[in-house]
Amino acid sequence: NAGVTQTPKFQVLKTGQSMTLQCAQDMNHEYMSWYRQDPGMGLRLIHYSVGAGITDQGEVPNGYNVSRSTTEDFPLRLLSAAPSQTSVYFCASLSGQGYEQYFGPGTRLTVT
């Protein structure tokens, strides 16, 4: 099993550009989440999904969109990037029967 994979590892965007951060998991987990990690702020939940076709907002959803068309994939879209979105983004998945979240390796995004 590859676990949770994320692409790209690094990305630089200009203000106003759009992009999609990809996340995939091969563990057949129902729950998937996106977090952003900023210095001194810990991990903050952006959006999450409890299954294909079902998504909801987390703590800091503004400026981000998500969709969940399959169990495996949970992409995060930035429609119009802003410097405040410079961060490291982590995708995570969780089995409905468990408590442990499995995190991907992260995407480091810089918006200039």
Partner 1 sequence: QQQVKQSPQSLIVQKGGISIINCAYENTAFDYFPWYQQFPGKGPALLIAIRPDVSEKKEGRFTISFNKSAKQFSLHIMDSQPGDSATYFCAAGYTGGFKTIFGAGTRLFVKA
Longest dimension (CA), the chain: 41
Stated length of the chain: 112
Smallest gap from residue 16 Cβ to partner 1 (A): 29
Contact track, partner 1, 81-100, x by CB under 8 A: ---------x-x-x-x-xxx
Which region among 18-26, 45-53, 62-70, 77-85 touches partner 1 (by CB under 8 A)? 45-53
HSE, side-chain direction, 13 A CA sphere, residue 33:
20
Q: Is residue 53 at the binding interface for partner 1, with CB under 8 A as the rule? A: no
Bridge partners (DSSP) of residue 107 are 89
d(CA 40, CA 37): 9
Tokens of 101: 């979240």
Q: Which residues bind partner 1 (CB under 8 A)?
A: 4, 31-33, 35, 40-45, 48, 50, 58-59, 90, 92, 94, 96, 98-101, 103-106
